């Protein structure tokens, strides 16, 4: 369980990007974070992911304040895939995927490789193992970034705009695939893509101007987004 309580965040010299945000992400569910551009979705992920230091509010991971958790333990339990992916361009797809299993989990190289290849096959990009990130398509890169994060087997995985480079069909397949994994990993998906949100998530959070306007069943939340004239993309 991740419990966010009255989280506020201000960028240095900027406006208040998050205002007293309170949300909880229960295990066994896929949640969607919706909101228009600039509403604070990425900022919210960066705070929960300990990439931005917030002064007000608390974030608890299974009851423990995340600010007190040792870095490595926290990273193994909470994964994040950024909007811009940040695959490592000097490593092949396979090497990108093996880096953390080998150097963070201490897995032997051959095991890590076998597992990475299996994951790539499941994502239908097995033939890309030896390609470099600069040589694959946007949608393929997105799948590689997610696969790379999943190999650490995090309890929670936050995905920022995971469908931005996927076509409708691929996004559907991807939603089905994520749902299939929800018993081992809890996904929180930040997205503009309302159809994707509705097909993948059961719960939703609607952010607007840094505030939570509503939390609840994803259908209702997506309704707010539609009423808010959110442009449906992807």
Partner 1 sequence: MTFGRALAFLLRGFVLTLLVAAASLLLGFLVSIPVGIVLNLPGGVVRLVLRAVVDFIRGTPILIQLLFVYFGWPLIPVVGVSLSPIAASILALTVNSAAYMAEVVRSGLMSVSPGQRLAGRALGLRPWQVFRFVVWPQAFRIAMPPLMNSVVALIKDTALISVITVSELIANVRSVVSVTWNPAYYLVAAVLFFIVTFPLMKLAGRVERRMKERGFAND
Ligand X SMILES: Nc1ncnc2c1ncn2[C@@H]1O[C@H](COP(=O)(O)OP(=O)(O)OP(=O)(O)O)[C@@H](O)[C@H]1O
Q: Which of 5, 124, 132, 155 binds partner 1 (CB under 8 A)?
A: 132
Q: Distance between alpha carbon 63 and the CA centroid of its chain, in Å?
A: 21
3-state secondary structure of 215: strand
Stretch 34-73 residues interacting with ligand X (CB under 6 A): 35, 37-43
**Nearer Cβ to ligand X, position 96 or 193?**
193
SS3 per residue for 28-62 = CCCEEEEECCCCCHHHHHHHHCCCCCCCEEEEEEC
What is the contact mask toward partner 1 in residues 77 to 116, using x (rule: CB under 8 A)?
Answer: --xxxx-xxxxxxxx-------xx--xx------------
Q: Which of 11, 51, 86, 88 binds ligand X (CB under 6 A)?
A: 11
Contact status: 19 vs ligand X (CB under 6 A): no
CB–CB of 151/97 below 8 Å? yes
Per CB under 8 A, which region of 145-153, 169-177, 187-195, 217-225 contacts partner 1?
145-153
How far is the C-alpha of 204 from the C-alpha of 177, rounded, in Å?
A: 19
Q: Which of 19, 41, 143, 148 binds partner 1 (CB under 8 A)?
A: 148
CB–CB of 144/133 below 8 Å? yes
| Residues whose CB falls within 8 Å of the CB of residue 124, separated by 6 or more in sequence, listed in order | 143, 173
Q: Within a 13 Å sphere around the CA of 161, how many CA atoms are in the beta-carbon half? A: 18
**Nearer Cβ to Mg ion, position 128 or 205?**
205
Q: Of these partners, partner 1, ligand X, Mg ion, none, which one is at the site of residue 233 (CB under 5 to 8 Å by kind)?
A: none
Contact status: 233 vs ligand X (CB under 6 A): no
Contact status: 14 vs ligand X (CB under 6 A): yes
Contact status: 11 vs partner 1 (CB under 8 A): no
Which of these, 32, 24, 4, lies nearest to 179 by C-alpha position?
32
DSSP structural state of residue 67:
G
**Nearer Cβ to ligand X, position 42 or 186?**
42
In the complex, the residues that contact partner 1 under the rule CB under 8 A are: 49, 51, 71-72, 75-76, 79-82, 84-91, 99-100, 103-104, 132-135, 148-149, 152
């Amino acid at each position: 369980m991740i419990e966010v309580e009255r989280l506020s965040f201000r960028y240095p010299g900027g406006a208040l990007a998050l205002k007293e945000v309170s949300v909880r992400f229960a295990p066994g569910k896929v949640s969607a974070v919706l909101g228009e551009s600039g509403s604070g979705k990425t900022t919210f992920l960066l705070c929960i992911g300990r990439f931005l230091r917030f002064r007000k509010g608390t974030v608890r991971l299974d009851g423990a304040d995340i600010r007190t958790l040792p870095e490595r333990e926290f990273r193994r339990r909470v994964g994040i895939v950024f909007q811009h992916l940040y695959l490592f361009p000097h490593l092949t797809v396979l090497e990108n995927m093996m880096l953390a299993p080998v150097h963070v989990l201490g897995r032997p190289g051959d095991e890590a490789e076998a597992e990475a290849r299996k994951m790539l096959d499941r994502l239908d990009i097995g033939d890309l193992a030896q390609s470099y990130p600069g040589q694959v398509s946007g949608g393929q890169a997105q799948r590689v970034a997610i696969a790379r994060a999943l190999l650490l087997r995090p309890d929670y995985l936050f995905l920022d705009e995971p469908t931005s480079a996927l076509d409708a069909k691929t996004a559907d397949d991807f939603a089905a695939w994520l749902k299939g994994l929800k018993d081992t990993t809890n996904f929180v998906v930040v997205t503009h893509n309302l159809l994707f949100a509705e097909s993948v998530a059961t719960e939703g959070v609607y952010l607007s101007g840094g505030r939570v306007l509503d939390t609840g069943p994803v259908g209702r939340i997506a309704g707010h987004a539609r009423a808010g004239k959110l442009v449906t993309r992807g």
